[in-house]
Structure 1
Amino acid sequence: MAASITLANGFGVLNNFFANGRRGLLKGFIPICQGHRNILSDAYRAEDAWQNRKRLEVHMDDLRVKLDQDLLTLKKPVASVDLQKFIDNIINEDELKASEQYIYSFRHTPVAHHLRPYTIHSWLRVCLDFHQPLRALRALQDKTHYGLFPDIYTFNLLLDHFLRSKDYHNAYLVAKEMMLIEVMNSSTPLAQALSLYACHHLLKQGSPQEDEKWSIGMTLADATRDNSSCLSRSYHVIGYCMTGNIKPISKILDHWLSGSSEDDKIVTQEAVDHLKEALETAVTEDAKMKIQEQFQSLESSGRIEKASLDELMETTILPAIGNLEKDDIDNYPKVLRDWHSTCVEAIKLQKEDKNQMERKAKEARLEKLLQEVGGVEYWIEKARSEGKEVQDSLMEEDIKRQ
């Protein structure tokens, strides 16, 4: 279903550089991926919209001096939009490394909570542009020192990047982050589908380590929550079995049995086998008997799916991806424009605040000078002016009350 890989064409890079200056270095720069079937289409990555987005104008050398001094040397806060300016205009790995230091330092300032969604998205996406997904993943996992909480689209991009290179373990780690911060549910069906696909292929590679079973199980549970396909139900059961908590499964099976038609397949034989194995040690005799009765009901009614999880993955998840990704593809250019507009507005307010501060400082210096030279006439005129302002204000209040 998914579109085949189109290898990046970098022949326009030099021409773009001479035409567009710094930005030309990254213009048309698209990560090259292996030529195999993808889950998400190339269109989902919206390379044209990303590379041609509006950027914040800045002199990078001057900004870097400022950020080095404020964040790294003086350890003081900077405006979040200044951080965005730098990340918006990165063209080499040295600037990418510097930006990581800035994000780390920004996290340890009193204004850390002001980190913009656009900044998080931009930095993680620049990491992918420079073929450094592990740099992005490490920072994403270290919430204490980086504080990166991406939107779902950005999570999907990271997942897709690892899936394209068949790096299923790191794809799962991205899915795990969504599980840990509780952003993956039925309202994010594409993220659920990608996460399920990543976990499915991770488990195909062999049995996970004991210390990973719980997190893989919980990721599977979130990736299949409130989904009614046989594949999702099966992995929902398998997920709970991996966590060692199968007490809810009896209620879940009752709910599925009562809420589906008689022709529906509830779970696969593979899921049933997992559950039977887990029953040996995980529950009381009463709970075990209840689930065994449910097994018998499923078997007698022919509602256990004999097809493998692999087969269901091909027939259930993959065909749905095209519809699930469409809204994100359509919305992404507008999202970039809106993010840029908020940054432009922030810069405008930043300039207004700076001008106001400079004006007040200038007035304060003038008053101090006049005071020092004994400007009596100035003080008389200032008192009259302030008195008139008070009178005008009282008059306005009188009129409002009438």
Structure 2
Amino acid sequence: FRHSPNCFYLRDWTIHCWIRQCLKYGALDKALYTLKNKVQYGIFPESFTFNLLLDAFIKEENYQDAVSVVTELMLQESFDRVSTQLLSLYALYKYLSEKPELKWDQERNVGASLFLAGLQQENTVGYSSQLYGYALLGKVELCYGLRSVYNQMPLMWTPGYFKRALNVMEKVLSLPGDIKICRDSIDILKECLNLVAKALEERSAENAEDVKNEESAITENTEKTEADFLLEYLNRFQLVQEKMLECEQSDLEKYEQQLKEWEKRELH
């Protein structure tokens, strides 16, 4: 759509101004609606505009909609700025701390967002997020098939997401310094592995029964254990907040420079 005639005259600052007006008049629902309906509106914000929208939802403690924004970030592969990465990870973990019952596609979206945002961070938060994301994606891969993971997603279509999770753990063990994997991420990987193993055993045992009943049993099992995954993740938010303070000033300077460049381009 971004290459169509309808979107030819739509500029970054136009999108930025639209989101700012939505924030100004408390129309966050309209901002999110236009963001999610790209075909109709062609809203593809840059990082700073995403940050403003994320910040607004986080301040209202509306973490479900904040995660919807993070999902759009993930689909656009726009985790370039550190502030965007940290805001996204903060929103994801706050949302998950509420212990939501996630459907398989929500697990895929959250897992992909955690993985891609964590991939930019070479620290405890980053590697732990990668491990957590790989664990969720591995569960979706084995329970619902590899196509369910990569279809219309910026993810690899080669199998082995659980293997990649183990590779992350091995890599961290070989790193010097204080970088570690959070115990919670290891527990989540263990839970996902046990869940998938149990589901596969049930699938084999019920191979002669009705397929519909088999799928219902797997779905119930997934929803039952999802709420137990995240009991101690609030402790990791402090790390995200501390890192955010370090990068905030430099990102604000870049933001001001971006506004000046937009003004110059608009005058010409």
TM-score (normalizing by structure 1): 0.49
Report the equivalent of 1:329: 252
Query: Residue 340 in 1 paired to residue 263 in 2?
Result: yes
Partner AA of 1:248 in structure 2: R
Query: Residue 148 in 1 paired to residue 46 in 2?
Result: no
Query: Residue 128 in 1 paired to residue 43 in 2?
Result: no
Q: Tell me how far apart the structure 1 counterparts of residues 183 and 42 of structure 2 sit (CA, whole Å).
A: 42
Superposed displacement of residue 113, structure 1: 3.2
1:286-328 CA distance string (max 9 Å, x none) = xxxxxxxxxxxxxxxxxxxxx94322321x1111222212123
Q: 1:121 to 1:308 in 2, by over 3 A?
A: same
SS in 1 for 2:14: helix
SS in 2 for 1:238: helix
2:117 to 223, 228, 231: 223
SS in 2 for 1:267: coil
Q: Tell me how far apart the structure 2 counterparts of residues 248 and 206 of structure 1 sit (CA, whole Å).
A: 25
Query: Residue 205 in 1 paired to residue 121 in 2?
Result: no
Superposed displacement of residue 342, structure 1: 1.4
Superposed displacement of residue 335, structure 1: 2.6
> Cα RMSD (Å) of the superposition?
2.3
Contact 1:152 1:191 in 2 (8 A): yes
Report the equivalent of 1:232: 126
- Taking the TM superposition and a 5 Å limit, the aligned residue runs for 1:140-289 are 140-184=35-79, 187-210=80-103, 211-243=105-137, 244=139, 245-261=161-177, 264=178, 266-282=180-196
Q: Where do 5+ consecutive residues of structure 2 fail to align?
A: 140-160, 198-230
Contact 1:199 1:220 in 2 (8 A): yes
Q: 1:213 to 1:109 in 2, by over 3 A?
A: closer
Report the equivalent of 2:206: none
Contact 1:107 1:146 in 2 (8 A): no
Q: Tell me how far apart the structure 1 counterparts of residues 19 and 121 of structure 2 sit (CA, whole Å).
A: 30
Partner AA of 2:130 in structure 1: H
Superposed displacement of residue 142, structure 1: 0.9
Q: Tell me how far apart the structure 2 counterparts of residues 270 and 107 of structure 1 sit (CA, whole Å).
A: 40
Q: Tell me how far apart the structure 1 counterparts of residues 53 and 25 of structure 2 sit (CA, whole Å).
A: 13
Contact 2:111 2:135 in 1 (8 A): yes
Partner AA of 2:185 in structure 1: A
- Taking the TM superposition and a 5 Å limit, the aligned residue runs for 1:23-38 are none
Partner AA of 2:258 in structure 1: V
Partner AA of 1:272 in structure 2: I
Q: 1:212 to 1:182 in 2, by over 3 A?
A: same
Q: 1:231 to 1:341 in 2, by over 3 A?
A: closer
Superposed displacement of residue 175, structure 1: 0.8
1:43-74 CA distance string (max 9 Å, x none) = xxxxxxxxxxxxxxxxxxxxxxxxxxxxxxxx
Q: Tell me how far apart the structure 2 counterparts of residues 235 and 251 of structure 1 sit (CA, whole Å).
A: 14
Q: 1:108 to 1:151 in 2, by over 3 A?
A: closer
SS in 2 for 1:114: coil
Q: Tell me how far apart the structure 1 counterparts of residues 53 and 26 of structure 2 sit (CA, whole Å).
A: 11
Q: Tell me how far apart the structure 2 counterparts of residues 330 and 265 of structure 1 sit (CA, whole Å).
A: 29
Partner AA of 1:225 in structure 2: L
2:234 to 310, 315, 326: 310
Higher relative contact order (CA 8 A, sep 6+): 2
TM-score (normalizing by structure 2): 0.72
How many corresponding residue pairs?
Answer: 212
Q: Tell me how far apart the structure 2 counterparts of residues 201 and 135 of structure 1 sit (CA, whole Å).
A: 23
Superposed displacement of residue 258, structure 1: 1.9
Structure 1 stretches of 4+ moved >3 Å: 106-109, 331-334
Partner AA of 1:201 in structure 2: K
Partner AA of 1:312 in structure 2: R
**Radius of gyration: which is bigger?**
1
